[in-house]
Amino acid sequence: MIYEWDETKRQANIEKHGLDFADARLVYESRYRFDLPLERNSEKRLQVFAYIFDLLTVLTLVVTKRGERVRCISFRRAHTEEIEVYYDWLANDFKD
């Protein structure tokens, strides 16, 4: 998988959320990954959630897929409601 991003947006994300798009693979390639399809301005996006053991938290990544490329849009810690949805999915729908 090839990850790409806008460098200005990457720097802004680091400043705002303390997370670097260069680490997005931790979420996108997690075996505990939960995907939520989104659409914004007629663009198909994917909001991906995963528990990151090294950080002991759920992170969320918003991306668009372009062939073999994953374009990072946002990367942050999940909000409380999102964490609840993630844990519900993990408890009820996760297939190991």
What CATH code is carried by the domain that includes residue 84? Answer: 3.10.450.530
pLDDT of residue 1: 86
| Domain count along the chain | 1
pLDDT of residue 83: 97
Q: How many CB atoms lie within 10 A of CB 87?
A: 15
Band of residue 20 on the pLDDT scale cut at 50, 70, 90: very high
User: Could you tell me the residue range of the domain that residue 10 belongs to?
Assistant: 2-92
Tens of pLDDT, residue by residue over 28-63, are: 999 999 999 999 888 999 999 999 999 999 999 999
More confident position, 74 or 95: 74
pLDDT of residue 96: 76
Mean pLDDT of 64-72: 94
Helices (H), the chain: 7-17, 25-28, 80-92
Tens of pLDDT, residue by residue over 78-96, are: 999 999 999 999 999 998 7
CA–CA dist 55, 76 (Å, integer): 12
